[in-house]
Amino acid sequence: MDDRYSRQVLFRPIGREGQQRLAAARVVIVGMGALGTVLATQLVRAGVGFLRLVDRDIIEPSNLQRQTLYDEEDAELGRAKAEAAAQKLQAANRDVQIEAVIEDLTWRNAKKWLADVDVIVDGTDNFQVRYLMNDVAVQYGIPWSYGGAVSSYGTTAFFRPLQTACLTCLFGSDGDVGGHDTCDTVGVIAPVVAIIASLQVAEILKYLTGNLAALSNALMHVNVWDNEFRSVQLSPPKTDCPCCQLRQFQSLEARTDGLTVSLCGRRTIQVRPESSLQVSLEAMAERLSRLGQVRHNAHLLRCDFGDVQLTLFADGRALIHGVDDSAKARSLYARYVGM
């Protein structure tokens, strides 16, 4: 500790006591894309004791422009993001306990992966998942860090249940789940990602080291291209908020699974069965090897059919690459996976 964290310990608001608090802290990051890779890198190097990485996706060449933990070999092999990130991060700090979870966060598993930590961290690009995080955070009294970045702008806030407004207080029960910019429609540049993630980590470090008076308690917005930096103070919880006041956890209680979802930045559709399946990737690899080039490991299988590629996970979830139509993706899933 004396050597590795010496410069951080010299920072008086953290000091030795704060560093010890970090070593005892447990954090989960949902989403190991652009934001997630910066978030995880900074938290691991800061000495957070336990870090869980939850991500459903694999690494592709278009990720390398901004997802700083990955390299060309990772993209060529189509490695799972959570697995590759855990390996790179462990090499940076072997004292941190790192857990990789290669799953889609849903109402089925949200409590399992989010309810046993000190801080929940958002690295996603999906408001439906953010509402799940908000529900778990409020139900269990866990602070969580919201972050989003697209094009050249981004927004972040650090929510503390019953201390600040929650996500539902700000956006309502239905939320901002559609009609907004995505990296697929307007792109994204790396500088705004790094800034938003760094602002998130600063608030997380304040909280974990006990510097609560230093928390911004604000919704912060940055546009690096237009040189905009502004913040709006978070209001107290709304007295009629269905989530944090009436304790109606709609995302957790909806108990519905979307069958398909388009992933940001490329022609890829995720297909998820209505109920979790246990797929033998080895048997599936043998079956699909007659139809295309197959690679697989303990976590996933990837088959290249030419114009279309399939990535299949052990729980039956699949990514269909090379399509942008949900109906076609479901048809290909039925054709190749047969479930």
245 and 264 belong to one structural domain: no
Domain stop point among 223, 253, 283: 253
CA 150 to mean position of chain CA atoms: 15
Query: Model confidence over 214-247: pLDDT tens digits?
Result: 999 999 999 999 999 999 999 999 999 999 999 9
203 and 274 belong to one structural domain: no
Domain stop point among 227, 253, 279: 253
Tokens of 317: 């979830």
Is the pLDDT at 329 greater than 90, yes or no?
Answer: no
Is the pLDDT at 176 greater than 90, yes or no?
Answer: no
CA 311 to mean position of chain CA atoms: 19
Higher pLDDT, 176 or 278: 278
62 and 43 belong to one structural domain: yes
240 and 105 belong to one structural domain: yes
1 found inside a domain = no
Whether residue 196 contacts residue 155, with contact meaning beta carbons closer than 8 Å, is answered with yes
Q: Which of 276, 237, 30 is nearest to 131 (CA)?
A: 30
147 and 244 belong to one structural domain: yes
Query: Mean pLDDT, to the nearest integer, of 95-118?
Result: 95
pLDDT > 70: percent of the chain? 91
Q: Which of 91, 225, 79 is nearest to 149 (CA)?
A: 225
Spell out a b/e string for 54-77, using b for 16 or more CB atoms within 10 Å of the CB, else e.
bbbbbbbeebeebbbbbeeebbee
Which of the four pLDDT bands, split at 50, 70 and 90, describes residue 339? Answer: low
16 and 153 belong to one structural domain: yes
Q: How far apart are CA 236 and CA 114, in angstroms?
A: 24
Q: Which of 35-49, 174-188, 262-276 has the lowest mean pLDDT?
A: 174-188
53 found inside a domain = yes
Which of the four pLDDT bands, split at 50, 70 and 90, describes residue 290? Answer: confident
- How many structural domains comprise the chain? 2
Question: How far, CA to CA in Å, does 23 sit from each of 98, 114, 140, 178, 263?
Answer: 13, 19, 22, 39, 35
Whether residue 230 contacts residue 215, with contact meaning beta carbons closer than 8 Å, is answered with no
Mean pLDDT of the chain: 91
The per-residue pLDDT for 43 is 98
Is the pTM higher than 0.75? The answer reads yes
Tokens of 189: 């540049």
220 found inside a domain = yes
247 and 199 belong to one structural domain: yes
72 found inside a domain = yes
DSSP structural state of residue 121: E
The per-residue pLDDT for 262 is 65
Q: In CATH, what number is assigned to the domain containing residue 321?
A: 3.30.310
Is the pLDDT at 179 greater than 70, yes or no?
Answer: no
Higher pLDDT, 73 or 272: 73
**Neighbour tally for 117: CB within 10 Å:** 21
The per-residue pLDDT for 332 is 84
Q: In CATH, what number is assigned to the domain containing residue 84?
A: 3.40.50.720
Provide CB contacts within 8 A for 28, sequence distance 6+: 51, 52, 53, 54, 113, 114, 117, 119, 120, 121
295 found inside a domain = yes
Task: Look up the domain containing 279 and give its range.
Answer: 260-336
Q: How far apart are CA 182 and CA 188, in angstroms?
A: 8
Domain stop point among 253, 288, 321: 253
The per-residue pLDDT for 254 is 80
Query: At residue 147, what is the residue type?
Result: G
Query: Model confidence over 30-60: pLDDT tens digits?
Result: 999 999 999 999 999 999 999 999 998 889 8
Active site positions, annotated = 183
Expressed in percent and rounded to 5, the helix, strand and coil fractions of the chain are 35, 20, 40
242 and 317 belong to one structural domain: no
Q: Which of 318, 293, 275 is nearest to 57 (CA)?
A: 318
Query: Model confidence over 304-317: pLDDT tens digits?
Result: 999 899 999 988 88
Looking at the chain, which runs of residues are DSSP E strands?
26-30, 50-54, 97-101, 119-122, 144-150, 153-159, 218-223, 228-233, 260-262, 268-271, 293-296, 300-304, 309-313, 318-321
Determine whether 239 is exposed, middle or buried from the number of CB atoms within 10 Å of its CB (0-12, 13-18, 19+). Answer: exposed
